[in-house]
Amino acid sequence: MAEHGNGDTGAVVTTGEGASSSYAIDNPGLPPHRPRLADVDEKYAKRSERQVAVLFLISIIGTVLFFVGYFAVARMDAFDDYFEGMTALRVQNTLLGVGSALAMLGIGLGVVHWARTLMPDHEVVEDRKPLRTEAHRAEAEKIVTEVIDETQIKRRPLLRNTLIAAALLAPLPALVLFRDLDRSEDFGVERMRHSLWGEGVRLVRDPVGTPIRASDLTIGSAMHVIPETLREIPGHGTRLAEKAKSVVLLMRMHPDDFGEQISGREDWTHQGIIACSKVCTHVGCPVALYERHTHHLLCPCHQSTFDAAENFKVVFGPAGRPLPQLPISVDEEGFLIATSDFTEPVGPTYWERGHTDPEGDYPA
C-alpha cells in the first residue's frame, strides 16, 4: 500500500512502477499489437478507401442539397398564400439542415473512418516529465525575494501603506462611472411605492382600453385590466414600467363565496367584483391563472397560489405575502373605478419595502 501524505515535495510519486510491489503483479506492459484487417490484407484497405470516398461523395451531395434548399425554394414573402409560404419555409429549413448535416457528416465520418482503418494505430508511449525541477523553484524563489528586497518595500512601510490606500481608491472612479446606468429622472426607491392607480381612475380592458361596467362581469368572469391613464404615459419604456406596476386582475364571485374580509376592506369590492394586483409578490411574474370555482389564483412561473375569496392569502407556493388588493367602486356613469392607489407596493419584496411612506399614505 503506497502511503498517502508523503508527497509534500511535489515530486512525482509513482505507483505501479517503483512501488509496484504493492500490487499483486507487476505492470505487464502494453498488450501486443493486434493488426487490423486493413493492415494485413490490401483488399480490406481498398474497401476502406472506397467507403471513405463514398462518404466524401455523400458530403458533396449534401452541399448540393443545401443549394437546392436555398435557391429552389422561394422565400416566404414570394407566396400569396400565407400557409403555402409557411410550408415552403419548413421545407427550406429541413433541406438546409439535412443538406448541411450530410455535407458535414460526410467529411467528418469519412476522415474518422480513414484514420481508424488506414492510418497507423500503434499506441505510442510518451514519458511525462515533471513540470519544473526543484532547483528551478529554488532559483525562482531566490529571484523573487531579491526583487522584493531591492524595492525596499518591506523596510519602508509608509510607501507600502500609501500604495495600498491609493490602489484601493483608484478603482472607485471606474465604479462611479456606472452610476448613470440608471437613466431615470427621479432616482430612488420611492417610485416603487406608487402605481398609476388613484382615486377615480377608471379600470379599462387590457389591451383594448375600453372602460368596464359592473354588469359586464358575470359570476365567474375574469378580466385583465389596466388603468385608463396608462395610454397617456409617453415613451414605450416608461409606459411598460408603469404597466408593470399597474396590471390588475378583476374577478366577479358570488357574494356568498367571500370569506371574512380584513376590516377596513369592506367597501373595497363592488357587488362581488374584486380586483388585485397581477404582479406576484414572489419574484414578479403575472399571477394570471384564475380558477373560478376554487377562487384560486396561480402563478405559472413558481406556482404561488392565492385565494381571492380570502383576501388573496397565499395557500401554496413560495410567495411570502398576499397579493395587494385594489379598492374599487363605480363612478356616476356606472364604470368601474379605483378608489385609491394600492395601499402597499406591488410586486416582489425589496429591501426598502418596509420603509414608512413619507407621504403617510400607508403605515409600515
Nearer to another protein, 160 or 233 (CB): 233
- The C-alpha atoms of residue 97 and residue 89 are separated, in whole angstroms, by 12
Residue whose C-alpha is closest to residue 148's, from 136, 159, 162: 159
The answer to the question of residue 198 lying near another protein (CB under 8 A) is no
Give min distance, CB of 350 to another protein, in A.
Answer: 4
Give every strand in the sheet of 248-252, ordered side by side: 248-252, 273-277, 325-326
Rule CB under 8 A: which of 308-327 touch another protein?
Answer: 314, 316-321
The answer to the question of residue 181 lying near another protein (CB under 8 A) is yes
Nearer to another protein, 107 or 160 (CB): 107
The answer to the question of residue 304 lying near another protein (CB under 8 A) is yes
- The C-alpha atoms of residue 260 and residue 256 are separated, in whole angstroms, by 10
Give min distance, CB of 263 to another protein, in A.
Answer: 19
At residue 347, the 3 state secondary structure works out as coil
Nearer to another protein, 268 or 290 (CB): 290
Nearer to another protein, 160 or 296 (CB): 296
Q: How many residues bind another protein (CB under 8 A)?
A: 152
Query: Residue 140, class by beta-carbon neighbours within 10 Å (0-12 exposed, 13-18 middle, 19+ buried)?
Result: exposed
At residue 332, the 3 state secondary structure works out as coil
CA distances from 1 to 11, 19, 27, 117, 255 (A): 18, 8, 15, 42, 80
Q: Which of 168, 266, 293, 360 binds another protein (CB under 8 A)?
A: 293
Q: Which distant-in-sequence residues (6+ apart) come within 8 Å of 172 by Cβ?
A: none
Give min distance, CB of 156 to another protein, in A.
Answer: 30
Stretch of residues binding another protein (CB under 8 A), selected from 162-170, 254-262, 279-287, 326-334: 279-287
The answer to the question of residue 334 lying near another protein (CB under 8 A) is no
Nearer to another protein, 230 or 337 (CB): 230
Residue whose C-alpha is closest to residue 299's, from 272, 227, 291: 291
Residue 51, Cα to own-chain centre: how many angstroms? 45
- The C-alpha atoms of residue 219 and residue 302 are separated, in whole angstroms, by 28
CA distances from 195 to 174, 191, 324, 350 (A): 34, 8, 12, 16
Q: Which of 54, 67, 93, 209 binds another protein (CB under 8 A)?
A: 93
- The C-alpha atoms of residue 278 and residue 318 are separated, in whole angstroms, by 16
Rule CB under 8 A: which of 243-272 touch another protein?
Answer: 243-245, 247, 251
The answer to the question of residue 63 lying near another protein (CB under 8 A) is no
Q: Which of 134, 199, 352, 361 binds another protein (CB under 8 A)?
A: 352
CA distances from 10 to 1, 145, 333 (A): 19, 21, 87
CA distances from 4 to 1, 7, 8, 131, 288 (A): 9, 8, 10, 21, 61
Binding mask 146-175 for another protein (x = CB under 8 A): ------------------------------
Give min distance, CB of 46 to another protein, in A.
Answer: 15
Rule CB under 8 A: which of 211-240 touch another protein?
Answer: 213, 215-224, 226, 235-238, 240
Give min distance, CB of 61 to another protein, in A.
Answer: 13
Omega into 207 within 30° of 0, i.e. cis?
A: yes
The answer to the question of residue 176 lying near another protein (CB under 8 A) is no
Stretch of residues binding another protein (CB under 8 A), selected from 34-42, 268-276, 323-331, 335-343: 34-42
Rule CB under 8 A: which of 100-129 touch another protein?
Answer: 100-112, 114-117, 119-121, 123-128
